[in-house]
Amino acid sequence: KDFNDLVYLTQEEKYQAIIADIKDCQAQGRPILVGTATIETSEYVSLLLNKEGIEHKVLNAKFHDKEAEIIAQAGRPGALTIATNMAGRGTDILLGGNWEVEVAALENPTDEQIAQIKAEWQKRHQQVIEAGGLHVIASERHESRRIDNQLRGRAGRQGDPGSSRFYLSLEDNLMRIFASDRVKNFMKALGMQSGEAIEHRMVTNAIEKAQRKVEGRNFDMRKQLLEFDDVANEQRKVIYHMRNSLLAADNVGDTIAEFREEVLTAAVNNHIPPQSMPEQWDVAGLESTLQSDFGIQLPIQQWLDEDHKLYEETLRERILAELLAAYNEKETQASAEALRTFEKQILLRVLDDLWKDHLSTMDHLRHGIHLRGYAQKNPKQEYKRESFALFQELLESIKRDAIRVLSHVQVRREDPAEEEARLRREAEAMAERMQFQHADASALAAEENEGEEGDVAVAAAPVRAEPKVGRNEPCPCGSGKKYKHCHGQIG
């Protein structure tokens, strides 16, 4: 049976009423489950029960390791359990306790022991049923009626008897927000004294109406959040599809060529507008852009002076041919396979870095977009419009940055003879530096020996005829190998 809510003026009166209800149920031999909204409330109720000398168990996130044991014994006659929402959710409290847990605790139980445990449990089970079953006490209403109904559902399971009651006060969060001061004044006008409570179906309905308001508000918040996330999710699908395609591709040369042509077209259109007069062309700006984005210096003004038939399309084709020639030269120096691998790595790196920056920008945009409402604009539509513009800019930045990195990379290959000479010079410099360090150390040791007093004989430090070479240092012979793989090889 679900009793009507009891509403008190203060929380202190509410908890006193809960303690009194617990004592009454224990006197009848009924198991009790006290539900709280937070861990702090469960600990506070536990403190009050300890002051009254009432034995109880606390079931919250701090005692999750004992959860199974506490639930197994929560249905015994007079047992008192305090549980939070998450701890009490989905638990099935058996009236009289759980005899299967008792059997499992025994080592190799005999049939006589199992029969005796079942008989004792049946006796306790019948005793609890006659007393009225499990009694559920809730210390406050939650924002969601679903959570309240889950707590009520701990009692009266599978046809067993049981009851539940909610204890409220005007100082609770839900009542403080939705029950105005007029309600408190109304209760005082009725002449209510300390410890008295209101119990009426109308009060319960009013509280459920307040809960529906909170649920509707939370639903709107989740709906709005989902709509904002849908925008980012569509962009995420495009980026992930692009990334997966790059990972699966063995050769991204065609993609790089397409990016190069698109970046060049955008650069030319910015400085030489389509179907414009030559007086409107920004040739110096185009040369500067080619130098910064493609790493190539082209005499475009000289081309235009020498060939008066050059216009936008032919100029674009000539610039593209120069870019391809410079890039093909790098491919010849580095080998096609190495360059294809490098292109793939650069594309993935640029894509990942810019996508992370884009997500951060989108997050900042979402947190401040509600201010557009003051300008009589729909924040949702403004967010969609600006996020689309940001995404378009992201795609262009991926192409532009990837082409910029690949265009500025330089292939350096040393001649084998030069490399061997360089390694020999490094080995000689290392040997000379080690000899200087050894000489300085010997001079310092001599000064220390001169400053000592007494007739104590000091053993002279051994002096190496040649500097010591480390195992991982270049071999002094100039072969270019490490010392341990050359003249310092053991065996």
In a domain, 82, yes or no: yes
Residues, the chain: 491
User: What confidence category does residue 440 fall into, taking pLDDT thresholds of 50, 70 and 90?
Assistant: low
Q: Are residues 47 and 158 in the same domain?
A: yes
d(CA 267, CA 176): 62
Where are the alpha helices (H) located in 249-298, listed in sequence order? Answer: 253-271, 283-294
pLDDT tens for 137-181 read 887 777 777 777 777 767 766 667 888 888 888 777 776 666 656
Q: Is the pLDDT of residue 452 over 50?
A: no
Task: Answer with the residue of higher pLDDT: 482 or 418.
Answer: 482
Of 408, 433, 451, which residue constitutes the final position of a domain? Answer: 408
Q: Going by C-beta distance under 8 Å and a sequence separation of 6 or more, which residues neighbour residue 332?
A: none
Q: Which pLDDT does position 471 carry in this prediction?
A: 75
In one-letter notation, the amino acid at residue 317 is E
In a domain, 342, yes or no: yes
pLDDT tens for 19-61 read 888 888 888 878 888 888 778 888 888 888 888 888 777 776 6
β-strand pairing of 134-138 with 32-36:
parallel
Of the candidates 331, 324, 299, 316, the residue with the CA atom closest to the CA atom of residue 409: 331
In a domain, 482, yes or no: no
Task: Answer with the residue of higher pLDDT: 347 or 80.
Answer: 347
Q: What range does the domain containing 386 cover?
A: 237-408
Q: Which pLDDT does position 63 carry in this prediction?
A: 60
CA 111 to chain centre: 53
Q: Are residues 389 and 285 in the same domain?
A: yes
Q: Are residues 361 and 286 in the same domain?
A: yes
Task: Return the CATH number at 307.
Answer: 1.10.3060.10
* Phi and psi, residue 394, nearest 5°: -60, -45
Q: Are residues 67 and 183 in the same domain?
A: yes
* Strand spans (E) along 139-277: 162-169
pTM above the 0.75 mark? no
Q: Which pLDDT does position 457 carry in this prediction?
A: 44
User: What is the layout of strands, in order, in the sheet containing 134-138?
Assistant: 6-8, 162-169, 134-138, 32-36, 80-84, 57-59
Of the candidates 317, 263, 321, the residue with the CA atom closest to the CA atom of residue 293: 263
* Phi and psi, residue 490, nearest 5°: -85, 135
In a domain, 326, yes or no: yes
In a domain, 67, yes or no: yes
Q: Are residues 192 and 302 in the same domain?
A: no
Most confident of 125-134, 291-300, 369-378, 434-443: 369-378
Task: Return the CATH number at 194.
Answer: 3.40.50.300
Q: Are residues 193 and 244 in the same domain?
A: no
Determine how many CB atoms are found less than 10 A away from the CB of residue 115.
11
Q: Are residues 166 and 88 in the same domain?
A: yes
In a domain, 93, yes or no: yes
Cβ contact 200:240 at 8 Å: no
Which token pair is 224?
């709005």
CA 24 to chain centre: 49
DSSP state of 193: P
User: What confidence category does residue 454 fall into, taking pLDDT thresholds of 50, 70 and 90?
Assistant: very low
Of 141, 172, 199, which residue constitutes the final position of a domain? Answer: 199
Q: Are residues 194 and 243 in the same domain?
A: no
Q: Are residues 176 and 32 in the same domain?
A: yes
Of 408, 437, 460, which residue constitutes the final position of a domain? Answer: 408
Q: Which pLDDT does position 194 carry in this prediction?
A: 65
Which range among 27-41, 190-204, 311-325, 331-345 shows the weakest confidence by mean pLDDT? 190-204
d(CA 23, CA 30): 10
In one-letter notation, the amino acid at residue 129 is I
User: What confidence category does residue 465 fall into, taking pLDDT thresholds of 50, 70 and 90?
Assistant: low
DSSP state of 167: E
pLDDT tens for 174-211 read 766 666 565 666 666 666 666 666 666 666 676 777 77
pLDDT tens for 221-273 read 788 778 888 888 888 999 999 889 888 888 888 888 888 888 888 888 887 77
Q: What is the percent of the chain where pLDDT is above 70?
A: 73
Element (H, E) at 173: helix 173-178
Q: Going by C-beta distance under 8 Å and a sequence separation of 6 or more, which residues neighbour residue 376?
A: none
Task: Answer with the residue of higher pLDDT: 435 or 28.
Answer: 28
Mean of the pLDDT values across residues 465-491?
74
Q: How many independent structural domains does the chain possess?
A: 2
Most confident of 73-77, 204-208, 376-380: 376-380
Cβ contact 88:33 at 8 Å: yes
